[in-house]
Amino acid sequence: MSDETKREMGKSDPAQGSGRRNFLRQGGALTGAALMSLVPAGVRNAAWAAGSDAPEKPEVKIGFIPLTDCASVVMASVLGFDKKYGIKITPSKEASWASIRDKVVNGELDAAHVLYGLIYGVHLGIGGTRKDMAVLMTINNNGQGISLSRKLADKGVTDGEKLAKIMKAEPREYVFAQTFPTGTHAMWLYYWLAAYGINPFKDAKTVVVPPPQMVANMRVGNMDGFCVGEPWNHRGIVDGVSIHAASSQDVWKDHPEKVLGTTAEFVKKHPNTARAMIMAMLEASRWIDASLSNRRKMAETIADKAYVNTSVDVIVERILGRYQNGLGRTWDDPNYMKFYNDGAVNFPYYSDGMWFLTQHRRWGLLREEPDYLGVAKQVNQVALYKEAAAQLKVPLPREPMRVSKLIDGVVWDGKSPKAYAAAFKIKVA
């Protein structure tokens, strides 16, 4: 992130916060033509040179769920980055992750904005019919949330520690929702609960609810908490039905979240098309993170009924790092949702995919130990991503593994996945 953007965010000068809040309120919705005018003519008009690198499939349908982090799929299409690489992206709004899974597997969708863990689950035959799958790139880091009901908040339950205490003091069936059994939101929720001594399978009941339905289900009292992507955590706060308990970046700073996923069969048949999709998405990701004004314009675009279908204000605050908990506290989170971050977001690290396998093993979704690294090398298309990144001069890491420390202080580096999965005190497997 540039120094100019950091100054805009008000990180170095808290007094700039009021100016930033004014920025959130400014601006009307932009038309597609107005957005296109923001893109250099050379990008808008560039044609793909005919030859062996030409995409095999010039039109592709990419599925998405109405969440803030679908933005790079939408903006790649709206701003014409797809055309620069010889393809036409048609974003396809889907109702649930199960729908995304089924349509990618059967070929109705060419690719999708999809949960990281869903791709790995399908590849191993859990959470759906087994199919060889592929992760082309990571779409975003951070920006998911864990919310608790207003009823719990009224009893003083505002975080994991207080939740654990009341669950012991007032035993009953506590219900928490996530969006897909092998998905990211399930893993963030389970990891967060376990970090406070709560076994998500023995001490609570977990249910699956599609992201756009999360707030409505909380409103009618169907659950005590949920983990979902934005803007639905903030929507729950605005609607007065839930409060912010934690962000996914509290669980794991700069964690992998959604990916551009497809089948291995698609990559084998259409490698140039797959590379073109990566390049168009990288351009869109870089554009989104280039400035606060771009993020605002992105929010205005995806708020439309055709995409996320909510108000711009519900989206824009958190994608600019402005958080509130629904109880009067506000703060600026430097680890807000990022789509590019100088290329750090998008590399499909083997260790990221392997981490989801360790959690699937931890929670009994995988009955036997997988070949962690072997599976990651099958799924994550590192070589293809490097080709695309090199053409765009996107920085690449030295190694396909990275080191992270999670909320419980445990370090994950991908070196001993079997031991890592087995070491957790709270687990099912």
Query: Is the domain covering 144-251 a CATH 2.130.10.10 domain?
Result: no
Cα separation, 369 vs 421, whole angstroms: 10
Say whether pLDDT at 144 is over 80: yes
Quote the mean pLDDT of the chain: 91
pLDDT, mean of residues 143-157: 98
* pLDDT for residue 35: 54
Would the CATH topology of 3-140+256-392 be identical to that of 144-251? yes
The dihedrals phi and psi of 303, each to the nearest 5 degrees, come to -65, -20
Element (H, E) at 136: strand 133-138
* pLDDT for residue 342: 97
For the segment 247-256, what is each residue's pLDDT rounded down to a tens digit? Answer: 999 999 999 9
pLDDT, mean of residues 245-264: 98
For the segment 348-404, what is each residue's pLDDT rounded down to a tens digit? Answer: 999 999 999 999 999 999 999 999 999 999 999 999 999 999 999 999 999 999 999
Contact criterion met (CB below 8 Å) for 333 and 96:
no
For the segment 23-49, what is each residue's pLDDT rounded down to a tens digit? Answer: 343 444 444 445 544 544 444 334 344
- pTM of the predicted structure, to 2 decimals: 0.89
CATH architecture of 3-140+256-392: 3-Layer(aba) Sandwich (3.40)
Tell me the β-bridge partners of 65: none
Say whether pLDDT at 3 is over 50: no
Q: Which stretches does DSSP call E strand in 143-285?
A: 144-149, 175-178, 205-208, 225-229, 242-247, 258-263
Strand 175-178 relative to strand 88-93: parallel, antiparallel, unpaired?
Answer: unpaired
The domains of the chain are located at 3-140+256-392, 144-251
* pLDDT for residue 22: 43
